[in-house]
Structure 1
């Protein structure tokens, strides 16, 4: 007997659809199940989504996209690769779209509407208290995907984004940065953290540096094909250059500027995170500091020292000046000059 079962949403209720050609014995059998219903419009029987019914009809505990959805995910990934999107973007968009298509694995991809996008937002994103940044990533993925398959039902321009959260970047004081950068006695660890702060680097930008990207004649660091597939340069501090020379003599890197235990092997993100964690433990700093805090601190300290915002934008590799302007809200240079009226009461 040929039949198949899949998860569906029926009137906002999770259920299991059992689909088979008309067969008197199967119909009689399925009628014996508790709360079994026939859908005239869809042409299948459906049952409550319970563990017992999932096991009975061999439905995996972890929901997955439909066969059509899996095929579309594969096509979307290939399209992103052909457009030379970064591995991180492909992974992020792929996971966001997979979550969306899994939620609607009971219907054809080509039948998804704008109302479905809203339903997913309410029933999945909001119910699971997921962030607006995740929702924004999902919107990016959905818009890009549906542009490639030309769904005639869904109107791409009507997919709305969440209101942007106004979250200030986390910034360390210069004294705190000094403590963190001085915490390690290991030369490689000290240089890696110092490079992130002194050049305002992202984690991936540091790990992707090669020895030839350090131009000691011009005192610059060349950051190649970073976020947005862009090259940029950032000034190289004379003190950092001296540290790098000592590091180069001691470690003699070949392929990557910072290599793992094996020559030619790129240093891992997990190990870099661990370096920061160890530094924080040594300094007794209890703030939930991340590597990106060092980049934020670099930008804010530049602004407080009088560097023009336009130059900071170029140094950080921001596409929009609006992204860089957020540092004006955490700079304390002007705020500290304001005298509180409380001081005049006494």
Structure 2
């Protein structure tokens, strides 16, 4: 008797999810890619694996005419490139996909005094530790949420980041004061019964699951509001501030690139445009020419 069990064919969506899992794409990236491919399929009116190059070209034109911005259009292009390259093995179609050049906005950066106020305005030791990791080690919110207790290396003063962007691994710095704070949180978490040696550094509502990105974003926004900061602040603002403050302190930009886990140096170089202390310390070549008249001394009040 033939006992072979026939498995149902996988849908395009299931195959795409498998391909994204194989390449360690983050859950947020997977959600965005699926959303953008579904957007194209809705526009197309039939399965996306039946599309032609001309369909892709016309879709981009229609989306631009609909008023979509450059970042959104580029996100769609990334999703479709992944789908046609990896899921249905039609990389030839990606020649019809074009990224849009757009001016990149400068990141919001907090002053050191604002960071101090924000960390002091948190409502619990756990929240203070979460935001301190984002600023003190320059981690993304997704990286903070996926830290495990074992990732804190107190001997080498490092944080092991094993779930970085694109599935990359790296070592982040662990400042001495941050280590003390994490030890205090470890003790409090153990007393509460939510911290375990093989568990998450920042458990969510259930100790077997990590805190989610949205909760970290709410923690950052509430702390900024409580500190009287009117800028739009999220957890990534602390990462931007970490990089900018290091640059202002004279740390080599390539070291900052490694600490942030940036693949390209030009991504890190963006912080040179917001490092105000560094800009103030640059001497203009005009000042070295000595051709302009020196400012006249002001008369004394009694003169």
Which range, TM-score by smaller chain? 0.7 to 0.9
Give 1:22's aligned residue: none
TM-score, normalised to structure 2's length? 0.81
The aligned counterpart of 1:288 is 232
Structure 1 pair 164/251, CA: closer, same or farther in 2 (3 Å)? same
Residue correspondence of structure 1 range 142-153 to structure 2 within 5 A = 142-148=80-86, 149-151=88-90
CA–CA separation in structure 1 for the residues paired with 2:82 and 2:209: 34
Compared CA separation, residues 210 and 111, structure 1 to 2 (3 A):
closer
Structure 2 residue corresponding to 1:167, chosen from 105, 108, 116: 105
How far does residue 231 in structure 1 lie from its aligned partner after superposition?
1.2
Task: Show the counterpart of 2:262.
Answer: 318
RMSD between aligned residues: 2.7
Quote the residue 1:64 is aligned against: none
Instruction: Give the alignment partner of residue 71 of structure 2, picking from 133, 138, 145.
Output: 133
The Cα of 1:83 is off from its aligned counterpart by 4.2
- Which residue is equivalent to 1:123? 62
Structure-2 change in CA distance of 1:83 and 1:181 (3 Å): closer
Gaps of 5+ in 2: 1-9, 299-303
Larger RCO, structure (CA 8 Å, separation 6 or more): 2
Tell me how many residue pairs correspond in the alignment: 273
Contact 2:244/2:274 (<8 A) preserved: yes
Check conservation: 1:233, 1:315, Cα contact below 8 A: yes
In the alignment, what sits opposite 1:100? 40
2:21 equivalent to 1:77: no
Task: Tell me, yes or no, if the aligned pair for 1:101 and 1:109 is still in contact at 8 Å.
Answer: no
- SS state at 2:172 partner: strand
Contact 2:121 2:227 (8 Å CA) reproduced: yes
1:190-220 deviation digits (Å, cap 9, x = unpaired): 1111111000010011111111111111111
Shift of 1:106: 5.2
Match of 1:301 in 2: 245
| 1:73–1:97 contact (8 Å) kept in structure 2 | no
The separation in 2 between residues aligned to 1:287 and 1:172, in whole angstroms, is 8
Match in the other structure for 1:221: 159
In 2: Cα distance, 1:161 partner to 1:323 partner: 17
Written as runs of structure 1 = structure 2, the 5 A alignment for 1:237-248 is 237-248=175-186
- Name 2:26's counterpart in structure 1: 86
Q: Which blocks of at least 5 consecutive residues in structure 1 are unaligned?
A: 1-69
Q: How does 1:168-317 map to 2 (within 5 A)?
A: 168-252=106-190, 253-254=195-196, 255-317=199-261
CA deviation after TM superposition for structure 1 residue 72, in Å: 3.3
Distance 1:151 1:273 in 2: 38
Task: Write 1 or 2 for the structure with the bigger share of helix.
Answer: 2
TM-score scaled by length of structure 1: 0.72
SS in structure 2 at match of 1:228: helix
What's the CA shift for 1:236? 1.0
* Larger CA Rg, structure 1 vs 2: 1
